[in-house]
Amino acid sequence: MPERQRHGASIGQPLTRRDGHAKITGAARYSADVKPEGLLHAVMAVSSVARGRVAHLDVAAAEAHPGVVAVMTPRNAPALAQSPDLKDHPFAFRLDLLQNDGVRYANQPIAVVIAETLEAATEGAALLAPRYESERVSVALGAGEVFRPETIGAGSATDEGSGDLAAGMAAAETRIEATYDTAAQYHNALEPHASVAAWDGDRLTLYTPTQALWIAKGRLAGLFGIPPENIHVVCHYLGGGFGSKGFIAAPQILGIMAAKLVGRPVKLVTRREQMFGPVGHRAATRQTLKLGAARDGTLTALDHHTLTLTSRHDDFVEPSGILSRHLYAAGAIATTHAVSRADIGTPIFMRAPGEASGSVAVESALDELALELDLDPLEIRLRNYAEVEPITHRPFSSKALRECYAQGATRFGWASRPRQPRQMRDADGLLVGWGLGTATYPAGMMQGEARATIRADGTALIETAAHDMGQGAWTVLAQIGADGLGLPITQVELRIGDSNLPNGGLAGGSTGTATSGTAVDNAARAAIAALADLAVNDRASPLYGAGNAGVTAADGRLARRDDPARSEAFGEILARAGRTSVEAKGQGAGDPATRKAYAMHAHGAVYAEVKVDPDLGQIRVTRLVGAFAAGRIINPQLVRSQYYGGMIWGVSLALHEHAVLDPRSGRVMNGNLAEYHIPVNADVPAMEAILVEEHDPHVNPLGIKGVGEIGITGTAGAIANAVWHATGVRVRDIPITLDRLLG
Amino acid sequence: MKAFDYIRATSVAEAVAAAARPGAAYLAAGTNLVDLMKGGISRPDTLVDVTRLPGLDRIERGTDGSTRIGALVRNAALAHDPVIAKRYPALAEALLSGASGQLRNAATTAGNVLQRTRCPYFYDTASACNKRDPGAGCAALGGVTRSHAVLGWSEHCIATHPSDFCVPLAALDASVEIAGPGGPRSVPLEAFHRLPGDTPERETVLEPGDLVVAVTLPPEAEAFAGHSRYLKVRERTSYAFAVVSAAVGLRMDGDRIGQARIALGSVALKPWRARAAEDLLAGAAPTPETFAAAAEAALADARPSGDNAYKIELARRIVVRALTLAAAGTPDRVPALPASPFAPNPSAPNPSAPSPLAGAPVHA
Amino acid sequence: MSFPITLTVNGTRRSVVLEDARVTLLDLLRERLDLTGAKKGCDRGQCGACTILLDGVRVNACLALAVSHDGASITTIEGLAVGEALHPVQAAFLEHDGFQCGFCTPGQILSAVGLIQEGQTGGDPERVREGMSGNLCRCGAYAGITEAVLTAHAALTGPDVLPGRQLAEDAA
């Protein structure tokens, strides 16, 4: 068997993004940049009521506007082969595709205007001037009937726990109970959802940003009643996804329907204000934490209850309690979830779904307990360090969290932190506070496939319908492929982002590199094996007869393992065999038995410094140090960028993001990027990410855990704790706003 | 956006004549107007482009010591103009604390003065708004009101004026020069914006066709240059509208305050001049007690219009802080974070202490 | 009503007849001149993804009506490199990994070029952060962006303050 080159020239190198040049020169074409011949522009009209029906649209006024070609409403929208409300797949969310005049949330699409120019389509949509029959709405957390959902997140158990909670509470010497609210958040990738769709008979070409090309293809095949192979989805670049582009959303499909209606290519781009409804969000939560501890700080009981919201018409439940099943050792654990329905768009996965909102509550509660016990926040976390996964008692496949705590603490200077709040000021008189949060995210895998082709010129091609939304797939998959093939990365061509390529699965849940990387590695390895077969059975080859000893691939040559001097270039082997190429496929998926035997998570520790104006309450994060352990690091530069991005999302969760709904109308009143605040550059000070070494022999052969989401977890709690430490005020309404600190 | 006719005016007279017709609006940079048009809030029939009008892009010093800022002077150019930065430092600081570098490069002096409220119900065309649609009602009342007015509001409108620039302009007794169908006239900035009363749709004293051609600072305005600050509390460090802001200028007379100027931003539908507080400070020593009394006076008439009582206390504290900062002296250069509480504070308890390394904080 | 205008785009004179006065510079570039480097993130001056240089200064192309800018000179991301030679700001973004998804990147880069030309930041990272705050990055590449702007600033203006040292002090 050929030996895989695990520590080759590429893996572990901080290579510059391979797609970087295209992105810094403007050459990278995103979906909305594509312009087929004869393109028309489509603009959605969306509902301003949150519940009811559309009673009237002034279609005539829109049609009369110069340049308008067609107005698509439920009256003339192309028929679909299946109901968009059909849930035939765990990830099939109900879609509003103009099949009736009903309105189920504000900003729901109610019509599409198609025109020769964007300006005409935009004004056409405004001229529809909808009238509604509206019903009373309910959008507040807990306002509707509260029920226990069947599952949470991506099919996880609603309630899970271990031990006798009541006994654990009774045995505790110190108890705290606190309720934390987290706000509704909208993904707001800077690239709005867009589609450029062109039909040729019953064949569809679609340019659209998606984190799951093959899932999109399957959904579209069902909706339009055509074979999946008739659908070609192209997405070389996503302008951010964060979960909102995991599953193709209504606006993208409406563009396809519009193209069908008018028989010409159509571009539909969601307007920013339309991103607050039909493309998912993270629902608000109210989490109650009850902790009981012995005098030494060890948890005797951890009770984490989450109340959240879902839409009236579909189910997605933010799984905020899940992390309490994995994170801290406790004598007894209960994690439960409840939900009520509201007249809102269906929530969906959003960067670290569950873990992000759950982490800020758990980390805050733990610090509240530490205060009661007069313990250092790091100490209480170490005293509850989970040596095995708490509920299942499974060993961790690897867990370098202790090293994360230690390296982060040293770098940050944590040891000099005074225990009491409001003890530190800077030279300008600003209050200074330090906080800590533990980061955690599951090291999951999905399923994917890749193809590797070794070509006669000595180069190779790696193909998989994987997705790069900024995490670096264009680079790291080539790195993995290069090492698997024993080639310099310059000799490896990578093709991703196209549904005609082998199924690349889903870029989500921090599984992309683990899944696609494993598929690429396996494909590369199989291609080398096929190439080796040609050589070792060929008497003319210096490798003839090496079958038992094996061959290794390096620098574009196969060499005998027992005699590396006997080697042959890839091209020579193929040429003599009369082949132009040799190709092989590889699968990427977790090993079920190993995944059952071990708990698999990435971990980290985030230390935050904030400054707070003692009189005015304005808050600024001034320093962040995160130390993360996530198995093998394929590209430290890109991984560091992922951690930074996650940590900035943590800043945003803790201090900024907050969709404000008017409870009377159900409308988002800050549905724009001026008032729905995400951090700007000036909100992000010096930050540091320490890549803590961790070797994981179990997660997958390459030892890869995901890094895309873990940075948010820990960070938001660290900031909330730092704000308390600066001010002495514990704010349990997240995001923390300055009015809470005015005293 | 509604289709419109476009006229590029070549003279003030031509512009005024064109814009006096119903449905016409002036276009300069468009940083506010084009946004409003895209949102369907403004739907003019005709845009009269004034960007080519000659002579309106100049900053001129009058022989009497006044400064005349042409209507088309861009916010960035104004803030970085050496005369402005030196003589009216709070004006520069306010300008640089607003919007973004890109918007400041485009936005004009007149456009900034004329910018319209950020009230979400004004922006949401599905909501009732007396500004957009007189008599329709005010959906903000009883709605989401954290950012709304605490001074000068009425039951017809509780919106605020969002400009940073106008706050020091009000404090410095600036006036607005207007060319109109009836000829030129000048209006004090303080009287230029109108409180809502029962006609919130009338936001300024401008009549159809009136064109703002300049903003003028009177000769006495530069007397405050040595003790002048703009302070703006916001919910992210930059690129955010003020929660509350204040512009303060002190003319020191020895170790006493000769004259004080105070205006508050984002508390009312116009920049709010706090004259009672100014009167209280005149002749007083710059002490914390005096500043606290001034803050009380400045907010004496404030009352919440909804879920925004915190803004009243915040405004008091901003007045105290801005006075404290101003008393300590204007910094040589606008701070890296203009108008921010996170700008270096010369009036901090131990301003001479070296900035501590992070990791080795000063323990109080 | 149609409006003939002439623009100099990336050094080339382009005569365009606007059939519609509503067209913004951003939509003119993207939909009519096939220059899609400038991105539409919000279309309302709230994100900076559409930043271009208009007569040498950075502005939001989404809020500028094209008809009002007859005769103007425009630089977009496509016109920044000279042949194969990257502009120092582009090179610095690559070096410091100042982006992830890349969607805000053309706007960030043009904004950085404009910021450096404005000459107000020196090598002060805090002034750079403030000056770049009109460009949102949802991926959170701000640390790399700030480093890239400081590096490019030093390259373009000479080492008045060594950015590496400033950053280290800032991070200490």
Residue type, B299: L
Q: What is the pLDDT of residue A546?
A: 87
Separation between Cα atoms, residue A649 and residue A643, nearest integer Å: 10
Contacts with C172 from chain B: Cβ below 8 Å: 357-359
Whether residue B354 lies inside any domain: the answer is: no
Quick check: A680 and B239 CB within 8 A? yes
Q: Is A646 on the interface with C (CB under 8 A)?
A: yes
Q: Where are the alpha helices (DSSP H) in A344-472?
A: 355-373, 377-383, 401-412
CATH of the domain at A64: 3.30.365.10
- Looking at the DSSP bridge assignments, the partners of residue A252 are none
Q: Using the 3D structure, point to which of A275, A296, A327 is the last residue of a domain.
A: A275
Q: What is the pLDDT of residue B364?
A: 40
Name subunits touching B (3+ CB pairs < 8 A). Answer: A, C
pLDDT at A1 over 70: no
Q: What is the pLDDT of residue A743?
A: 79
Mean pLDDT of A541-567: 91
Q: What is the pLDDT of residue A6?
A: 42
Domain ranges of chain C: 3-79, 88-171
Same domain, A302 and A355: yes
Closest listed residue to residue B29, CA positions, set C13, C35, C32, C61: C61
Mean pLDDT of A162-168: 98
Structure confidence by residue, pLDDT tens digits, B24-52: 999 999 999 999 999 999 999 999 999 99
Q: Is C80 on the interface with A (CB under 8 A)?
A: yes
Q: Is B27 on the interface with C (CB under 8 A)?
A: yes
SS3 of residue A273 by DSSP: helix
3-state helix, strand, coil in chain B (%, to 5): 30, 20, 50
Q: What is the pLDDT of residue A88?
A: 87
Name subunits touching C (3+ CB pairs < 8 A). Answer: A, B
Range of the domain at B300: 221-328
Range of the domain at A533: 447-589
pLDDT at A68 over 50: yes
Structure confidence by residue, pLDDT tens digits, C116-144: 999 999 999 999 999 999 999 999 999 99
pLDDT at A359 over 60: yes
Q: What is the dihedral of CA B333, B334, B335, B337, to 10 degrees?
A: -160
> DSSP character for A283?
P
Residues of A serving a catalytic function are 709
SS3 of residue A588 by DSSP: strand
pLDDT at A619 over 60: yes
Q: Where are the alpha helices (DSSP H) in chain C?
A: 25-27, 88-95, 105-118, 125-131, 142-157, 163-171
- Looking at the DSSP bridge assignments, the partners of residue B7 are B48
Separation in Å, CA of C131 to nearest CA in chain B: 6
Whether residue A619 lies inside any domain: the answer is: yes
- Say if strands A581-588 and A601-612 run parallel, antiparallel, or are unpaired: unpaired
> DSSP character for B165?
T
Q: What is the pLDDT of residue A104?
A: 98
pLDDT at C12 over 80: yes
| Residue C111 · residue C151 · CB < 8 Å | no
Separation in Å, CA of B254 to nearest CA in chain A: 26
Q: From the CB of residue C19, how many other CB atoms can be counted at a distance below 10 Å? A: 17
pLDDT at A129 over 90: yes
Contacts with A739 from chain B: Cβ below 8 Å: 146, 310, 314
Chain A 229-268, CB below 8 Å of chain C: which residues? 237-240, 242
Contacts with A21 from chain C: Cβ below 8 Å: 94
Same domain, A615 and A545: no
Quick check: A16 and C95 CB within 8 A? yes
Query: What CATH fold (topology level) applies to the domain C88-171?
Result: DNA polymerase; domain 1 (1.10.150)
Q: What is the pLDDT of residue A548?
A: 66
pLDDT at B354 over 60: no
Contacts with A126 from chain B: Cβ below 8 Å: 1-2, 40
Q: What is the pLDDT of residue C163?
A: 40
Whether residue A164 lies inside any domain: the answer is: no
CATH of the domain at B302: 3.30.390.50
Whether residue A10 lies inside any domain: the answer is: no
- Provide the pLDDT confidence category of residue C170 given band limits of 50, 70 and 90: very low
| Residue C132 · residue C145 · CB < 8 Å | yes
Structure confidence by residue, pLDDT tens digits, B310-336: 999 999 999 999 999 999 999 999 999
Separation between Cα atoms, residue C110 and residue C115, nearest integer Å: 8
Q: What is the pLDDT of residue C1?
A: 78
- Provide the pLDDT confidence category of residue A538 given band limits of 50, 70 and 90: very high
Separation in Å, CA of C71 to nearest CA in chain A: 23
Mean pLDDT of B93-114: 98
Q: What is the pLDDT of residue C169?
A: 42
Whether residue A708 lies inside any domain: the answer is: yes
Q: Is A680 on the interface with C (CB under 8 A)?
A: yes
Separation between Cα atoms, residue B120 and residue B39, nearest integer Å: 12
Separation between Cα atoms, residue A115 and residue A175, nearest integer Å: 64
Mean pLDDT of A463-491: 97
Place of tokens 């190429």: A581
Question: Which residues, at least 6 apart from A50, have a Cβ–Cβ distance to it below 8 Å?
Answer: A103, A104, A105, A106, A134, A137, A139, A343, A344, A665, A666, A667
Closest listed residue to residue C76, CA positions, set C12, C31, C10: C10
SS3 per-residue string spanning A122-146: HHHHHHCCCEEEECCCCCCCCCCCE
| Residue C137 · residue A649 · CB < 8 Å | no
Q: What is the pLDDT of residue A739?
A: 97
Give CATH superfamily name and number for C3-79: Beta-grasp domain (3.10.20.30)
Mean pLDDT of A630-642: 98
Total domains, chain B: 1
Whether residue B54 lies inside any domain: the answer is: no
Closest listed residue to residue A326, CA positions, set A183, A510, A178, A156: A156
Separation in Å, CA of C138 to nearest CA in chain B: 15
Total domains, chain A: 3
Quick check: C109 and A688 CB within 8 A? no
Q: What is the pLDDT of residue A499?
A: 98
Same domain, A714 and A699: yes
Separation between Cα atoms, residue A492 and residue A481, nearest integer Å: 7
Q: What is chain A's alpha carbon radius of gyration, rounded to the nearest angstrom?
A: 27
Same domain, A670 and A688: yes
Whether residue B161 lies inside any domain: the answer is: no
Q: What is the pLDDT of residue B349?
A: 67
Q: Is B357 on the interface with C (CB under 8 A)?
A: yes
Separation between Cα atoms, residue A205 and residue A195, nearest integer Å: 10
Structure tokens at A653: 């969760």
Whether residue A433 lies inside any domain: the answer is: yes
Closest listed residue to residue A292, CA positions, set A163, A435, A441: A163
Structure tokens at A459: 């180069």
pLDDT at C158 over 80: no
pLDDT at B355 over 50: no
Nearest to A672 among C42, C77, C141 (CB): C42
Same domain, A673 and A720: yes
Whether residue A2 lies inside any domain: the answer is: no
Structure confidence by residue, pLDDT tens digits, B232-289: 999 999 999 999 999 999 999 999 999 999 999 999 999 999 999 999 999 999 999 9
Distances (CA, A) of A735 to A284, A285, A352, A361, A454: 11, 12, 17, 11, 52
| Residue A324 · residue A333 · CB < 8 Å | yes
- Provide the pLDDT confidence category of residue C172 given band limits of 50, 70 and 90: very low
Structure confidence by residue, pLDDT tens digits, A696-708: 999 999 999 999 9
Quick check: C137 and A190 CB within 8 A? yes
Whether residue A713 lies inside any domain: the answer is: yes
Same domain, A343 and A320: yes
Q: What is the pLDDT of residue C162?
A: 42
Separation in Å, CA of B315 to nearest CA in chain A: 9
Whether residue A1 lies inside any domain: the answer is: no
Chain A 265-304, CB below 8 Å of chain C: which residues? 269, 271-272
Separation between Cα atoms, residue B96 and residue B86, nearest integer Å: 14
Separation between Cα atoms, residue B104 and residue B97, nearest integer Å: 10
Q: What is the ipTM of this complex?
A: 0.97
| B355: region left, alpha or beta (phi > 0 left; psi from -120 to 50 alpha) | beta
Structure confidence by residue, pLDDT tens digits, A373-397: 999 999 999 999 999 999 999 999 9
pLDDT at A618 over 90: yes
Separation between Cα atoms, residue A714 and residue A440, nearest integer Å: 7
Separation between Cα atoms, residue A186 and residue A192, nearest integer Å: 12
- Provide the pLDDT confidence category of residue A424 given band limits of 50, 70 and 90: very high
Mean pLDDT of A269-294: 98
- Provide the pLDDT confidence category of residue A9 given band limits of 50, 70 and 90: confident
Contacts with C65 from chain B: Cβ below 8 Å: 27, 30, 34, 47
Structure tokens at B231: 């302070």
Quick check: B101 and C63 CB within 8 A? no
Contacts with B359 from chain C: Cβ below 8 Å: 172
Separation between Cα atoms, residue C100 and residue C109, nearest integer Å: 13
Q: What is the pLDDT of residue B88?
A: 98
Q: What is the pLDDT of residue B350?
A: 54
Mean pLDDT of A431-443: 98
> DSSP character for A725?
H
